[in-house]
Structure 1
Amino acid sequence: MAPHQYPHQSLRFAETPLFAGLPGDVRVSFEFFPPKTPKGEENLMACLHSLATLDPDFVSLTYGAGGSTRARSREVAARMNREVKAPVAAHLTCVGASKAETDRIADEFWEAGIRHIVALRGDGGPPGTKFEPHPDGYANAAELVAGLKRLHPFEISVAAYPETHPDSPDEVADLDNLKRKFDAGADRAITQFFFQSQSFFRFRDRAAAAGLDKQVIPGILPVTNFERTQSFANACGAELPEWFADLFAGLDAMPHARELVAATVTAEFCRRLYAEQVRDFHFYTLNRSELSYATCHMLGLRPKETAA
């Protein structure tokens, strides 16, 4: 068929770039983990300052359950709150602590000026290990949310699972658990990462049908390293489509090419979500800013200083 014979709709589609004309009406948040070294901490702060120019709703820091790791999480979260021009959310889990210990940590976060908690049950250990609550601790995330609300008027985010939590017997039980967290006082849910947009759309429909009307933000994991991503996916039950592995095959020795592919895949993935009215995105950064920043840029978001 000659070019002038294509239907008008096909021509219009072909001439409209996927990311053209986006108004930048997205809201974003970014997640980081506590670094183990002083150099890692400075790298984290540099990433934070870069992404903070995009005016995120919040930036969050994960929480280590071990003694020294737990203290490190609190120290870094407090520094973030002092130095970064973005609201800071601190993660808190039920793992390895009594209710009194967990409450004390929450009090310390409040005293440090942190008003947002990401409340999680936490994992019992390696994948497949059954979670066993501390005998004097919070048994699950819903209990933790209720306990935090009794202490202070925290803003609270919790976890949701588009492909169901590995410990859930089925989708219904998974949604019932999310409802308990909302009923306990959670303000919103952030999903585990996923790699197929339909997983989120189906989950969103199920949640609406179950009467869950609070905000659910999709969690986005840019691929900085495919093997690491595959390991994360296996641990949490996220499905990696076959084409995904094929796309990254052979790029281990070509990190710059891999980053270009990763940026393209992540941006297109978020664009598909955007096309279905998603306007909030939570990025699991793995303490790297480039891929998350590039995706936000392609979605039309610009630094606050230059946007004006």
Structure 2
Amino acid sequence: MQPGDISVSFEFFPPKTEKMETQLWEAITQLAPLSPSFVSVTYGAGGSTRERTHATVSRIIRETDLVPAAHLTCVAASKAQIDEIVDRYWEAGVRHIVALRGDPPPADGSIFVPHPEGYANAADLVAGIKARHEFDISVAAYPEIHPDAANAEADLDNLKRKLDAGASRAITQFFFSTDAYFRFLDKALAAGITAPILPGIMPVTSFAAIRRMSGNTEIPAWLEAMFEGLDDRPGPRALVAAVAAADLCKRLYDGGVRDFHFYTLNRAEQAYAICQLLGLRPKEIG
């Protein structure tokens, strides 16, 4: 592994409270010297964080040199409403959007139902954004298949439609099997997909949270064994999590991967430690 030959990006979520706002900005400040290619800000189920996402992205533009990517979903919004959001981002100086179908609010159950005047899926959303402004667009990919997909082929076809509609790259759901990721890349290439597919890396902060968010992601027995007995030991758990995630990244690196996307959960320590283990060093500021 050559120091400095990898590129990273980080995902954050918009804060709900003043305390969470402080934590977020501490994380951004600590990770900024690693010169991420972009930092993304999520968008809650049903568009529940719409204003907070916009406020966070706008502050990143005003107060840092980072490139923000705003998440945007189809859920609970008409095309006209999404056009308005997209225009606001463009006017604020945002040039990168992560376009997602999105999950319905918990109160609406688990089935996605398009807004009667909205976009039916992420591919249509990408096309609508591109028709509005020339954004750089990222979309989601699922090495172990989206839970709503009929099968792997349908899921891959959906990814191809999103990229053909104008997206530049895909970012994967987190995974713990490098075999699953590389098999997915092979299938994507065979389907004519040549855009970059960045691996999404999720350090394990809590097994309960990982299970809740995993969808179809396999949680291997060796990973569970590695964290056994650490539920009430946050310090050792964080150290083990950083080493486990760095090992996953090194195996991806050995397979040719040079771009990594980290789900930070608004905490810098894990992502920073992993980048350190991967040979990435902060740039001198000033």
Q: Which amino acid aligns with 1:278?
A: V
Deviation at 1:135, TM superposition (A): 0.4
Contact 2:46 2:103 in 1 (8 A): no
Secondary structure of 1:201's partner? helix
Deviation at 1:66, TM superposition (A): 4.9
Tell me the equivalent position of 1:86: 66
Matched, 1:110 2:57: no
State which of 45, 57, 76 in structure 1 corresponds to 2:37.
Answer: 57
Q: Unmatched 5+ residue regions in structure 2?
A: none
Tell me the equivalent position of 1:256: 235
State which of 122, 126, 130 in structure 2 corresponds to 1:145.
Answer: 126
Tell me the equivalent position of 1:216: 197
Secondary structure of 2:172's partner? strand
Deviation at 1:170, TM superposition (A): 1.1
Separation (CA, whole Å) in 2 of partners of 1:135 and 1:243: 46
Matched, 1:76 2:56: yes
Separation (CA, whole Å) in 2 of partners of 1:40 and 1:177: 35
Tell me the equivalent position of 1:188: 169
Deviation at 1:129, TM superposition (A): 1.3
Q: Residues 42-97 of structure 1: CA distance to partner in whole angstroms, max 9, x if unpaired?
A: 21011011111000000000012556621111111111121122100000000000
Contact 2:46 2:105 in 1 (8 A): no
State which of 223, 228, 245 in structure 1 corresponds to 2:209.
Answer: 228
Q: Residue 71 and residue 65 in structure 1: after superposition, are their counterparts in 2 closer, same or farther (change >3 A)?
A: farther
Tell me the equivalent position of 2:262: 283
Q: Count residues with an aligned counterpart.
A: 285
Separation (CA, whole Å) in 1 of partners of 2:141 and 2:48: 28
Contact 2:47 2:75 in 1 (8 A): no
Q: Residue 170 and residue 41 in structure 1: after superposition, are their counterparts in 2 closer, same or farther (change >3 A)?
A: same
Separation (CA, whole Å) in 1 of partners of 2:126 and 2:159: 12
Contact 1:125 1:131 in 2 (8 A): no
Deviation at 1:22, TM superposition (A): 2.9
Separation (CA, whole Å) in 2 of partners of 1:293 and 1:69: 26
Tell me which stretches of 4 or more aligned residues in structure 1 moved more than 6 Å.
none
Contact 1:94 1:133 in 2 (8 A): yes
Matched, 1:26 2:26: no
Q: Residue 142 and residue 281 in structure 1: after superposition, are their counterparts in 2 closer, same or farther (change >3 A)?
A: same
Tell me the equivalent position of 1:5: none
Q: Residues 254-307 of structure 1: CA distance to partner in whole angstroms, max 9, x if unpaired?
A: 11111111111011010000000100000000000111111111111100118x
Tell me the equivalent position of 1:8: none
Secondary structure of 1:287's partner? coil
State which of 140, 145, 163 in structure 2 corresponds to 1:164.
Answer: 145
Separation (CA, whole Å) in 2 of partners of 1:65 and 1:277: 34
Contact 2:137 2:168 in 1 (8 A): yes
Separation (CA, whole Å) in 2 of partners of 1:68 and 1:216: 28
Q: Which amino acid aligns with 2:33?
A: T
Q: Which amino acid aligns with 2:70?
A: A
Q: Residues 152-209 of structure 1: CA distance to partner in whole angstroms, max 9, x if unpaired?
A: 1000000000001111111111110011001100000000100111110000000011
Separation (CA, whole Å) in 1 of partners of 2:71 and 2:109: 22
Larger radius of gyration between Structure 1 and Structure 2: 1
Separation (CA, whole Å) in 1 of partners of 2:230 and 2:138: 36
Tell me the equivalent position of 1:239: 218
Separation (CA, whole Å) in 1 of partners of 2:238 and 2:144: 26
TM-score (norm 2): 0.96
Deviates more, 1:243-252 or 1:202-211: 243-252
Contact 1:65 1:96 in 2 (8 A): no
Q: Residues 200-250 of structure 1: CA distance to partner in whole angstroms, max 9, x if unpaired?
A: 0000000011110111100000111221112111xx211101111121111
Q: Kindly, what percent of the aligned residue pairs are identical?
A: 59
Separation (CA, whole Å) in 2 of partners of 1:242 and 1:173: 29
Deviation at 1:128, TM superposition (A): 7.2
The aligned runs of 1:123-134 (5 Å cut-off) are: 123-126=103-106, 129-134=110-115
Q: Residues 114-170 of structure 1: CA distance to partner in whole angstroms, max 9, x if unpaired?
A: 000000000124497111010000110000000000111000000000001111111
TM-score (norm 1): 0.89
Q: Which amino acid aligns with 1:243?
A: W
Secondary structure of 2:150's partner? coil
Contact 2:140 2:173 in 1 (8 A): yes
Q: Unmatched 5+ residue regions in structure 1?
A: 1-20
Separation (CA, whole Å) in 1 of partners of 2:45 and 2:58: 17
Tell me the equivalent position of 1:154: 135
Q: Which amino acid aligns with 2:269?
A: E
